[in-house]
């Protein structure tokens, strides 16, 4: 299997890299390098720059703003974006509800929502998980009863990321409680400004408030906001989750974080003493994670190469390996970054604006503890690592 890039692909990489260097606003790049909290305005500003370039939704069909790139070009684009480092376009719109609307929505829904998703005129959030319905999502209880030309929605969603910013939420709701649980679920688009919608923040262990509870109390939703067929929402959800797991290895993110790790380890300590990079044991730890990352990158390139040559017609079980190792590597890097700054990484929890940076020590130390705590979730979302190991055992090892 040839994993080398062609001259045309190398030229494409240079084009993408040059664009990120020229177009990414310096203040946003600085926040990304430092691991600091991005404001809603930062994400909106950057996605609109990408949209103007025609790169906000490269994986969509051309008729809705896609680029028609090859799998290799998509891989290169993602890696360069992560290494720039630049924010990803808002995933809830671009990678989740957008593809569902393209695949299953009607023409009116496509014409209304897709241009607004590309330009982030609407901020979307995801209404799937509920108290008691996380891993067993099909057991969800939020109900939607058809009354004339509307649905009346009652229930609760939880762990709803960035719902405090959202204009719209795509929700799984139970429309038929009398059938098998997977067969009675529908996919609704709900305006977050509707009467009866309440958002309440959940303060996480890193001191931030990026996740929320969302309550629906007799919320009236136009029946025109039903995507596809009633009671077919479980099929659409499975389709969406396949898109959610795209690029979950985040090789580019890990490369950029290792680069940052080496920069910080080479600095003279604020309180004096030896640099971390001069410690042989610490250098061995960096080398070990770099070796793991190179192996992960080779695995991801094999998956992409199979797509390029048309040998991949369905989800590759190797993507489960990418998820497992990618999340473990990211968490290891966050641990090494904490080790570099030592006690200066202690969290402070001053407010609920989504940030959590201590008031003492060097500026670069502030975001590292919140990132460490936040990245504990990487091995859970997108399918927990335990579930991914089951997939590997069945689909690859035949156990």
Report, as residue numbers or ranges, the catalytic residues: 244
Return the number of other C-beta atoms located less than 10 Å from residue 174's C-beta: 21
Sign of CA dihedral 346, 369, 43, 252: positive
Residue for token digits 């997939």? 391
3-state secondary structure of 62: helix
Rounded CA separation 139/62 (Å): 37
What dihedral do alpha carbons 48, 49, 51, 56 form, nearest 10°? -100
Rounded CA separation 337/260 (Å): 9
3-state secondary structure of 146: strand
Burial of 355 (0-12, 13-18, 19+ CB in 10 A): buried
Both tokens of 102, joined, read 């393209």
Taking each helix axis from N to C terminus, what angle separates 318-341 and 280-308, rounded to the nearest 10 degrees?
150
């Amino acid at each position: 299997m040839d994993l080398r890039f062609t001259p045309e692909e190398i030229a494409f990489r240079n084009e993408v890299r040059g664009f990120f260097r020229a177009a990414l606003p310096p203040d946003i790049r600085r926040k990304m390098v430092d691991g600091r909290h991005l404001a809603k305005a930062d994400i909106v500003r950057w996605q609109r720059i990408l949209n103007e370039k025609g790169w906000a939704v490269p994986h969509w069909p051309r008729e809705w703003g896609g680029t028609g790139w090859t799998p290799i070009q998509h891989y290169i684009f993602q890696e360069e974006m992560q290494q720039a480092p630049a924010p990803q376009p808002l995933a809830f719109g671009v990678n989740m509800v957008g593809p569902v609307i393209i695949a299953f929505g009607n023409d009116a829904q496509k014409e209304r929502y897709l241009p607004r998703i590309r330009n982030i005129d609407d901020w979307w959030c995801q209404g799937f998980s509920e108290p008691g319905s996380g891993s067993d999502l099909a057991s969800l209880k939020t109900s939607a009863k058809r009354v004339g030309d509307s649905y009346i929605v009652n229930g609760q969603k939880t762990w709803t990321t960035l719902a405090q910013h959202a204009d719209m939420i795509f929700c799984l709701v139970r429309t038929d409680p009398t059938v098998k649980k997977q067969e009675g679920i529908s996919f609704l688009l709900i305006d977050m400004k509707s009467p009866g919608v309440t958002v309440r923040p959940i303060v996480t262990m890193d001191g931030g408030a990026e996740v929320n509870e969302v309550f629906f109390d007799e919320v009236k939703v136009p029946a025109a906001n039903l995507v596809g067929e009633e009671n077919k929402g479980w099929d659409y959800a499975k389709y969406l989750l396949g898109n959610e797991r795209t690029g979950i290895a985040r090789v580019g993110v890990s490369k950029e974080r290792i680069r940052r790790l080496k920069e910080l380890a080479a600095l003279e300590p604020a309180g004096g003493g030896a640099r971390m990079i001069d410690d042989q044991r610490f250098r061995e730890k960096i080398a070990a994670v770099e070796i793991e990352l190179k192996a992960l990158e080779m695995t991801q390139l094999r998956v992409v190469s199979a797509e390029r040559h048309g040998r991949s017609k369905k989800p590759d079980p190797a993507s489960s390996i990418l998820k497992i190792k990618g999340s473990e590597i990211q968490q290891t890097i966050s641990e090494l970054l904490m080790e570099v700054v030592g006690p200066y990484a202690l969290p402070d929890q001053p407010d609920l604006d989504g940030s959590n940076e201590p008031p003492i020590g060097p500026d670069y130390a502030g975001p590292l503890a919140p990132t460490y705590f936040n990245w504990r979730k990487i091995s859970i979302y997108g399918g927990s690592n335990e579930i991914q190991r089951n997939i590997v055992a069945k689909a690859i090892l035949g156990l």
